[in-house]
Amino acid sequence: MRHTFSPLSHFVLWAVLILYVQAAVVDDFNHIERCKDSLYMGTPPRGYLSNSLKKICQRYEDQPRFITLYDPQKHIPIYSAYTFKKSDGEKRVDFPWMFEPQLASDKASGNMEPFPQSSLMHKNFEDTQAVLDDYADVVQYERGQLSPDQHQADPMDKAATYTLTNVVPQIKEFSVGPWAAHEQLIRKRLNNYCRGKSYIITGVTTSGNTIRRDNLDRVAIPEYMWTAYCCTDYDHNAPYSERYKFPVFGAYGLNDRINNNIVEVPVKSLEKFLRLRMNVDKNFQIFYKDCVSD
C-alpha cells in the first residue's frame, strides 16, 4: 500500500526537524547536530552521577562548535569538549560575551546569543546560568574558558568560546600564569606532533566556594582545573620527552595564587585523582577506552 503525504504533513515534518536541529540542550550528544564530532569515538566522559547536569551542544551562527556539560545550579560548566585546531595561539578579545538561551527556555533559540545591553534583562535567565554581573566586581578572578579560543583557528570557532557557559572563575595569578602556559604548551605539542584529529576535554572540581552577589551563592569557584587530550595519529619519531605523552595524556592544577603549578600525568592517574574529588562512580572514564585505538 502506497502512502502519500499532503503538503501540510510535509510542512509539519519540516517544522519538527527544524525545531530538533535548533535544540541546543540535548538528551545526549549523539544526535542530528553532529555534536559528537567534538568527542573521540563520539563518546563523552562516563561516570557522572548527578541528574541535574545539562548537556549543551554549543552552537554559534547555526553551526555546532563544541560541547559542554553544564551545572545550572552551580552556574558553571563541569567540562567542555572540543576538537583542537592547529593555530598560531592568537587570543581574540573583541567578541561579545554570550549566554545560552536554551538553558532558560526550551522554546528559545538553539544558538548562543550576545548578552542584552540592559542588565535588567539578565533576570530572565540568571537562575539557570551565570551572567555578566556575576563577574563584574570580582577583580581577583578571570573568566577562564574551558574551550580556549587559542586552540581554534577559524574566527567563528574562536567567537563561540566566548559564552559564559564555557567559563569558570579562575584566580588571576593561576589563569594568566601556570594555566595559560599549559594551554600554550598543549597547543605547541599538538601543532608539532599530532598528525590527525586531536580531542581535548577540560573540566573542574569544586569544593563549595562560590562567588556571591546580592547575598546569594551565584557561581561555583573551581578547586582544581584539569584537562586531557587524545590523538591516536601522532609522530612516532617525536623526541621521547614528547612521544611518551601520546596518544593520550592529562594534567591538573590548583586554582589558587600559590602552589598552583600544573602537574602532567597519564590519563589513568588523572582519572584516579578526579574520582576522589568529583561526584562520579568507579567507572569514571574521560575518553572512550582511554583513547587506545583498536
Cα atoms in the 13 Å half-sphere on the side-chain side of 35? 28
What's residue 33's pLDDT? Answer: 61
Is residue 17 assigned to a domain?
A: no
Phi-psi region of 28 (alpha: psi -120 to 50; beta: other; left: phi over 0): beta
Contact 202, 80 (CB under 8 A): yes
Q: pLDDT tens for residues 4-37?
A: 434 444 433 333 333 333 446 777 666 656 788 9
Percent helix, strand and coil across the chain, each to the nearest 5: 30, 30, 40
- Closest Cα partner for 132 from 159, 99, 174, 93? 99
| Cβ within 8 Å of residue 153, ≥6 positions away | 85, 86, 87, 88
What's residue 294's pLDDT? Answer: 64
Q: pLDDT tens for residues 146-188?
A: 999 999 999 999 999 999 999 999 999 999 999 999 999 999 9
Task: Report the alpha-carbon distance of residue 74 to residue 227 in Å, rounded.
Answer: 20
CATH classification at residue 194 = 3.40.570.10
Burial 20-45 (b: 16+ CB within 10 A, else e): eeebbbbeebebebebbebbbeeebb
Q: What's the pTM?
A: 0.89
Contact 148, 183 (CB under 8 A): yes
191: helix, strand or coil: helix
Task: Report the alpha-carbon distance of residue 109 to residue 103 in Å, rounded.
Answer: 10
What's residue 21's pLDDT? Answer: 37
Is residue 142 assigned to a domain?
A: yes
What's residue 12's pLDDT? Answer: 38
Is residue 6 assigned to a domain?
A: no
- The count of domains in the chain is 1
Task: Report the alpha-carbon distance of residue 194 to residue 183 in Å, rounded.
Answer: 15
User: Which residues span the domain enclosing 231?
Assistant: 25-291
Contact 70, 53 (CB under 8 A): yes
Is residue 14 assigned to a domain?
A: no
Is residue 15 assigned to a domain?
A: no
Task: Report the alpha-carbon distance of residue 163 to residue 127 in Å, rounded.
Answer: 16
273: helix, strand or coil: helix
Is residue 172 assigned to a domain?
A: yes
What's residue 31's pLDDT? Answer: 61
Burial class (CB in 10 A: 0-12, 13-18, 19+), 133: middle
Contact 24, 66 (CB under 8 A): no
Longest dimension (CA), the chain: 74
Is residue 8 assigned to a domain?
A: no
- Closest Cα partner for 131 from 154, 103, 165, 159? 165
Nine cell digits for residue 256: 589558587
Q: Where are the beta strands (DSSP E) in 231-290?
A: 248-254, 263-265, 280-285
Q: Measured in Å, how far apart are the chain's first and last C-alpha atoms?
A: 46
Q: Which residues of the chain have pLDDT under 50?
A: 1-23
Is residue 18 assigned to a domain?
A: no
